[in-house]
Amino acid sequence: MSLLNDLSVETLMKHRAQSLNPIALAVLACVSLLTVPAQAQQGQQLEKVVVTGSNIKRLAAEQATPVQVIDRAQLANLGATNAGEVLREISANTAGSYNESAINNQSGAAGVSLRGLGQKSTLVLINGRRMANHAIAQNGQDTFVDLNAIPRSAIERIEVLKDGASAIYGSDAIAGVVNVVLRKNMQQVEVGASTGKATQGGLAEHSLNVAGGFSAGNFRALAVVDYFHRDMLLMSDRPWLNGLDFRFLPGGTFFPGASGGTWQRSAVFPAAQFPPGGFQLRRQAIPNCLGDSKSMDALIGAGVYSGTACTYTVDKYLTAFPDADRLGGMASATYDLGGGTELFAELGMSKNESSWINQPQTLTNQTVVFTPATGGFAAYSNIIPNIPAHAALFATNTLGGNGTTARFNTTFFDVGARTFALTTDTARLLVGARGHVGSWDWEAAVGSSRSEVVSTTGNQVDAQVLRGFINNGGYNFLAPTPEQTAALRVSTTRNANSRLHFADLKLSTVLGQLAGGDIGFAAGLEARRESMSSTPDELARQGRLLGTGSSQYAGSRRAEAAYAEVIAPFSKQFELQLAGRFDRYNDFGSAFSPKLGAKFTFNEQALLRASVAKGFRAPTLVENNNSSSLGFSSVTDPQRNNASTVVGVLLEGAKDLKAERSLSRSIGLVLQPVRDLSLAIDYYKIRQNDLVSTNGEQFIVRNPALFPGQVVRDPVTQTILVVKDRYTNLASIETEGLDLEAAARLPQTDIGRFTLRASATQQLGFVYRPKADAAEVDYAGRNDGPYGAMPRLKLRLGVDWRLDAWSAGLSLNHTGVYEQRNSTAAGTPASVDALTTVDLYLAYAFGANLKLSLNVKNLADTNPPWDTATGLGYASGQYDLRGRYLRAGLEFKF
């Protein structure tokens, strides 16, 4: 094996299996072809293994499915502290993945979304088996495996199958499969530590890990413990965001908090002004603004606002990254019974804690509260009665009316910034046995895993107590006493859990021979029970929380499956893969998923592969139950000059959902023109029908004609109170694109040996139909689709270098330009710029036992490109605020 000698045999195979990308130059895909002759020449013994995408053992170099492998060496080069960071780097992760950023509403957890189809359409496995989903669904809908629950030092490699795989693995594998393979054999103790910090300030990180293993007779065991800590990063810690005041940039706006003590009333103005027949909001700041707010003239002009307001910047209350503490462990053991049979067991546990803050609670004309009787939101009036108890407050009102015609907008600075703490406990246990009888290999296992989350929110405002203060007095809005503040302040706790219990049996054998070799056969049975529940705090269920949402769901189901797979090499050149799987669920019904794959080897330098597969995704336990989620989101309102505004969002589940169905097609060419150069190019196309989704609050707001009655506005001010959305089987999504992977290993020189790599994905289309009677729209290369910004091109180029004890890597990461379709503000650029960053890795080994390393992410300290539509200045689904990040580490073995 010559080209990817630094990668394991399985790595090589998988890289070649990876899909082809368009604009890049190279990174491994033909690796497998390259590997076989070289290894044969070296006389090495090749072991047959099971790789992601098949249940049949075979030589790694024979694998034809598009699989990318990221091994331990590459994990080190990337300088990532968790699997989520690694997977965000791969080119197939185009859109829809969420990291730990609190901006993305799922602090402390991380998932992956292949092909931009959402996290729920990517199946994540641990050692080829499922684990319980994170107990809190992303965006109230998407269930996913929390990658942060997997100890980083326990990972041997990550295999990414970028092809539909329901015929092998069942539900959720529409976009592909991520299989995290854990370490299983150690005869030493390893200790590692690292520390890092952003050069722009903040985000200090520290990690420590210990791993060790031993064998004694027929017994072998391994254990790993990881600890990680990261400091919180606020958006105010990045001065270049300018307090979120972007008026100095093309198309930029500024929408500060305007409720630091502001009277407001509405008045009809001429139809010739914007909006026709609408309302002008007149404001007036109180003389002494509350907290750190200050009086400012109206920001958007006479078309929407006039007068003054007590305003404050909100960036100091917005968390870009939460404070995080993670402690995780993994242990495995095997016992050889003899005769080719062994027992095995795996145990994994983690405790992850994260905390962050958000703006203090406000009282405005947009404030809503939960109404238990209707299960939805109701407006919470900010009209202050003109009674003696409020005389001092009314003395500051000069808008006219001096009473109920004027509303008072205030922020409860005295109660404090809202605090959030999330504690996630996960556990995974399985026991099993494997062996062979005659020509049959077999494996059976039973297991259980869980995810339990306790979410605590502090510094909330009791709406019932506040209503009493408004109606009867007892709270000084201008200068509250500590006792008054304490009466308003409440904390709540939400409990959620997710559980998975399973049993499985796998069989494989050789049925016979054809001209091209052995006929591989595999079959298996699976049974599992899944459950999820979330219980909001009693105060939330009673509607006692001002402007605060909640979610609740409870569901469980059983699923059974049977599957079979055959690989038939009709000749040395031509091979077919046939697979089928039947799944039966006790809630939505059943599904059959077939797959046909083919590989044609022209010669040792060229191979053609293709596949077509049907797949399905069962509705999640959040989607297909009587669930409800009440939350808030920021949208731009086209009826108010695209003003950014926070709105309530009501999401409801539905028991009549069908399973999503998919059709995946791919065709690719793998080339190895010379021994140390490989190239793979693959075309993919995936179509999902009956897609279970919400249309998204921003999409609904921008297309109210498609969703009558789902945008609820204040009848006086016309500001949005609630956007109603419901899980339903929408029409379709169809995505297609090109993957390219290549690698070139240069000859050994006096200054070391160099390996060049490239991987890229060019998205050719992402056609989304929001409803059956709506038009199809291609959102590829735009930022107004259901998953936000979706650049067409994602590219990574790299060069690795080794010389004696030194090793280094240099990587270029490129995320392409996309059209600006989500903002029509004057002067807005037509597109959002691309982003190119460079990462550096450098290591030195002091013998076999000690290694020091340095990682520099974003070497040039390049900030994300300007995107006026987000309100944050950048697309948080694509980028983050780390900037240049330095991390130093050491590894010691003994």
Q: Rounded distance, CA 281 to CA 887, Å?
A: 50
Q: What pLDDT does residue 277 have? A: 43
Whole-number mean pLDDT of the chain? 85
Q: Extract the tokens encoding 379.
A: 């407006």
Q: What pLDDT does residue 89 have? A: 82
Q: What pLDDT does residue 267 have? A: 54
Q: Which residues contact 444 (CB under 8 A, 6 or more apart)?
A: 432, 433, 434, 503, 504, 505, 506
Q: What pLDDT does residue 101 have? A: 67
User: Which residue, 253, 252, 352, 363, is CA-closest to 300?
Assistant: 253
Q: What is the pLDDT of residues 81-123, one digit of tens each?
A: 788 888 888 888 887 777 776 565 556 788 888 888 888 888 9
Task: Give the number of other Cβ atoms within 10 Å of residue 698's Cβ.
Answer: 20
Q: What is the pLDDT of residues 651-673, one digit of tens each?
A: 778 888 888 899 999 999 999 99
Q: Is 830 exposed, middle or buried (0-12, 13-18, 19+ CB in 10 A)?
A: exposed
Q: Extract the tokens encoding 122.
A: 């990517």
User: What sign does the CA torsion over 320, 544, 451, 119 have?
Assistant: negative
Q: What pLDDT does residue 635 have? A: 84
Q: What is the pLDDT of residues 743-763, one digit of tens each?
A: 999 999 999 999 999 999 999
Task: Give the number of other Cβ atoms within 10 Å of residue 403's Cβ.
Answer: 13
Q: Are 781 and 790 in contact (CB under 8 A)?
A: yes
Instruction: Report pTM.
Output: 0.85
Q: Which residues contact 833 (CB under 8 A, 6 or more apart)?
A: 817, 865, 866
Q: Are 145 and 137 in contact (CB under 8 A)?
A: no
Q: Rounded distance, CA 140 to CA 146, Å?
A: 15
Measured CA to CA in angstroms, residue 159 lies from 77, 627, 794 at distances of 17, 34, 19
Q: Rounded distance, CA 487 to CA 461, Å?
A: 9
User: Which residue, 328, 196, 175, is CA-closest to 885?
Assistant: 196
Weakly modelled stretches of the chain, pLDDT under 50: 1-46, 60-62, 268-278, 301-302
Q: Rounded distance, CA 112 to CA 173, Å?
A: 12
